[in-house]
């Protein structure tokens, strides 16, 4: 089968990758369902992390890391979190799926001389519900 084609499981006809049903036998193709969260939320990337309030939901990536023998080892918190508060160096939060508190580093970038951990800021996205259009 060539790249960018899909085959009908009923009649074996090749058709385009975005076809909803087979043009020969009208057999519908099965698609993976989208998660409810993707349909009902949006990510806001440009915001001031100091203005986060208790209860806000964020998605964090990146953050502190260590390099040992040329191997990159992530040390920061990653995933979705619910904010509890902020301090001068970052955000105090707990995981949405996994329990436990964490400190999401948002302070200045530096290298700890004792442990050689590169302290870099996390990249954040604020998770907000999508606005429903009024008819």
pLDDT of residue 127: 92
**Residues 62 and 41 occupy one common structural domain:** yes
If asked whether residues 74 and 20 sit together in one domain, one would say no
For residue 135, name the pLDDT band (cuts at 50, 70, 90).
low
Residue numbers of the domain that contains 24: 1-31
| 92 lies in the same domain as 43 | yes
User: Quick one: 27 and 90 in the same domain?
Assistant: no
Domains in the chain, number: 2
> 38 or 15, which is more confident?
15
Task: Flag whether pLDDT at 1 surpasses 70.
Answer: no
Collapse the DSSP code of 71 into the 3-class scheme (helix H, G, I; strand E, B; otherwise coil) and give the result.
strand
Which secondary structure element, helix H or strand E, spans residue 110, and what is its range? strand 110-111
Length of the chain: 135
CA-nearest of 55, 56, 32 to 43 is 56
Q: Which of 28, 24, 49 is nearest to 107 (CA)?
A: 49
Q: Do 5 and 40 belong together in one domain?
A: no
58 and 116 within one domain: yes
Q: Which helix (H) or strand (E) holds 36?
A: helix 36-40
Q: What is the pLDDT of residues 17-65, one digit of tens each?
A: 888 888 889 888 887 777 777 778 888 999 999 999 999 999 999 999 9
């Amino acid at each position: 089968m060539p790249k960018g084609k899909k085959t009908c499981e009923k009649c074996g006809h090749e058709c385009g990758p975005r076809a909803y049903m087979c043009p020969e036998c009208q057999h519908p193709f099965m698609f993976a369902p989208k998660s409810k969260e993707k349909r009902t939320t949006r990510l806001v990337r440009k915001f001031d992390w100091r203005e986060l309030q208790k209860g806000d939901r964020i998605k964090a990536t990146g953050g502190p890391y260590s390099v040992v023998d040329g191997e990159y080892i992530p040390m920061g918190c990653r995933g979705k979190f619910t904010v509890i508060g902020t301090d001068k160096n970052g955000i105090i939060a707990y995981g949405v799926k996994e329990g436990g508190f964490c400190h999401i580093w948002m302070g200045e970038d530096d290298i700890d001389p004792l442990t050689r951990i590169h302290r870099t800021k996390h990249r954040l996205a604020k998770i907000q519900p999508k606005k429903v259009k009024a008819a």
